[in-house]
Amino acid sequence: MYASSIVGIVIFVLLLGVLLFAQVKKVSFNVRALSSLVIGLGFGLILRTTVTDGAAHLSDLVAILDFSGSIYVKLLMMLIIPLVFTAIVHSIVNLRGKKGSYLTKVAFKTVAILLLTTGVSAIIGSYVAQFFDIGHGLSIPGVVLDPSHSSAGILTTLLAMIPSNPVEAMANNNVIAVVIFAVLIGVATLQLHKQEEKIAEPFIGFIHSAFFVSKKLANMVISLTPYGVMALMTHMSLTQGWTTLHQMITFVGAMYIAMVIVLCMHIVLLLLVGVNPITYFKNVYRALLVAFTTRSSFGTMPVTMDALGNRMKLSESVSNFVPGVGATIGMNACAGVYPAMLVVMTMTILGMPITWETVLFIAFINMIASLGVSGIPGTAFVAAGVTLSTMGLPYSIVALVQGVDPIIDMGRTAVNVNAVMTTAVIVDKTTSVD
């Protein structure tokens, strides 16, 4: 083992110790995640520019960095199936007890608008990512660049979504098949609850508990983000140089541009139902500010409900119901823009062609994936994982951008909340009380 590699490994361990010390001292997660990104980039670039023949002399350090980063990626992948399955079934069974034609109309329109705007947001994210050529010049650790790499045909992929064997689908990480199975289980549970409430309640209780256990597990894994990000970013900057830093900056900029376009879409929808956007934003800006600063859709719900009910003067049913549904189904930024942009980024890195059919297919998958994945820890990366796995693409790209996630997540949460409030206004303006 070369001396430079030994020194690099010692410094890497010491840096991990610094992050652990910061965690013990209760430094905020956001600060630690961003710091790990900066430290990883800086450490890798310093090694790249100071060590002669780094590829050979630092090979042992590179192996350790790859091992450490791979552990984090595998833990993230481990979360997807339990989180998605329990979240979707949980979100559907929570609709039990909603009765009356008015509430039925409100529920149907809410879900439809949220899913459709999520699909359109995915299309926007895809084209913005293509415009900025996100991913150009990068490579994904552990993934061989193969220009001939191609996904299966659309019909083949659609057929693979049908879960002939749910257990096999889970074992093979066929997430969309699991999503469809979870939707069917949720609907069947609702039907059973109407007919035999006592029989259905134990299963509903189990799903409720399993969902919150999965959320707790997600929190445990996400707490490792600073360590995983530092290993991954050190590996990338060491092996790829300044391209990594440039792409991270470009990715953040492209995300915010795409989200601004999505907000413009919301404004157009408000104009179509006769709402003045200026008046609208005067009434809801507090909710958007809270969403941007707290990065929590659930935490913003009381302010969102106040904005809709007391300031926008929407009906009580709409102002109370829509925010709850919007926190669990369809998020324009987390489940629309972000996964689409990561898919395009990955396909660009792999040299895969991106056609308009591909973009529409990405939007379709994101719409399905957005069912129930919102409001859970790591909503964005779970949604991205569903889309990537469905298209047979490597998941590592999600971990690579986790370091800049806190910066992106502020805008994502504000856009998500605005989508919910826009949906509530549209539903209220287009639904009459029976």
CATH code where residue 305 lies? 1.10.3860
Q: Is the pLDDT of residue 36 over 50?
A: yes
CB atoms closer than 10 angstroms to residue 102: 15
Of residues 62 and 92, more confidence is placed in 62
Instruction: For residue 176, give the amino acid letter.
Output: I
Whole-number Å distance between alpha carbons of 194 and 190: 6
DSSP label of 310: I
Asked if the model's pLDDT at residue 324 lies above 50, the reply is yes
Among the ranges given (63-67, 235-239, 323-327, 362-366), the one the predictor scored with the smallest mean pLDDT: 323-327
How confident is the model at residue 434, as a pLDDT? Answer: 53
Buried/exposed 50-85: b ≥16 CB within 10 Å, e otherwise = ebeebeebbeebbebbbebbbebbebbbebbbbbbb
Structure tokens, 90: 């949980």
Distances (CA, A) of 396 to 85, 147, 223, 250, 345: 22, 18, 18, 18, 12
Q: Average pLDDT for residues 74-89, to the nearest whole number?
A: 77
Q: What is the DSSP letter of 329?
A: B
Per-residue model confidence (pLDDT) at position 29: 79
Q: Are 190 and 363 in contact (CB under 8 A)?
A: no
Dihedral angle over CA of 77, 79, 81, 82, nearest 10: 170
> Could you tell me the two tokens for 183?
């939707």
Q: How far is CA 327 from each of CA 246, 330, 361, rounded to the nearest angstrom?
A: 33, 8, 24
**Mean pLDDT of all residues in 315-328:** 75
- Quick: pLDDT tens for 93-114: 876 765 556 667 877 888 899 9
Whole-number pLDDT of residue 418: 94
Q: How far apart are CA 144 and CA 146, in angstroms?
A: 6
Q: What is the pLDDT of residue 145?
A: 43
The sign of the dihedral angle between the CA atoms of 17, 20, 25, 29 is positive
In the numeric block, the tokens 């050979």 are attached to: 56
Q: What is the dihedral of CA 95, 96, 100, 105, to 10 degrees?
A: 20
Residue 342 CA to residue 351 CA, distance in Å, equals 14
pLDDT > 90: percent of the chain: 22
Residue, of 304 and 130, whose pLDDT is higher = 130
Distance between CA atoms of 421 and 285, rounded to whole angstroms? Answer: 11
Closest alpha carbon to 420 in 261, 317, 278, 297? 297
**Cα 324–200–111 angle (5° rounding)?**
30
Given a cut of 50, whether residue 285 has pLDDT beyond it is yes
> Looking at residues 204-213, what average pLDDT do you find?
90
Tell me the one-letter amino acid at 380. A
Number of domains, the chain: 1
Most confident of 18-22, 169-173, 222-226: 18-22
pLDDT at 183 over 90: no
Alpha carbon 195 to chain centroid, angstroms: 36
- Residue 346 DSSP label: H
- In terms of Cα–Cα distance, which of 54, 151, 48 is closest to 388? 151
Report how far residue 222's alpha carbon sits from residue 216's, in angstroms, rounded to the nearest whole number. Answer: 10
- Vertex 372 angle, CA 102 and 215, to 5°: 130
Place of tokens 């995640």: 33
Q: How many residues does the chain have?
A: 434
What number is the average pLDDT over the span 406-415? Answer: 85
Q: Is residue 246 pLDDT above 60, yes or no? A: yes
Note down the domain range covering 273: 3-430
Tokens 């999503």 identify what position? 179
pTM of the entire structure? 0.69
Partners of 371 in the beta sheet?
Answer: 329
For residue 276, name the pLDDT band (cuts at 50, 70, 90): very high
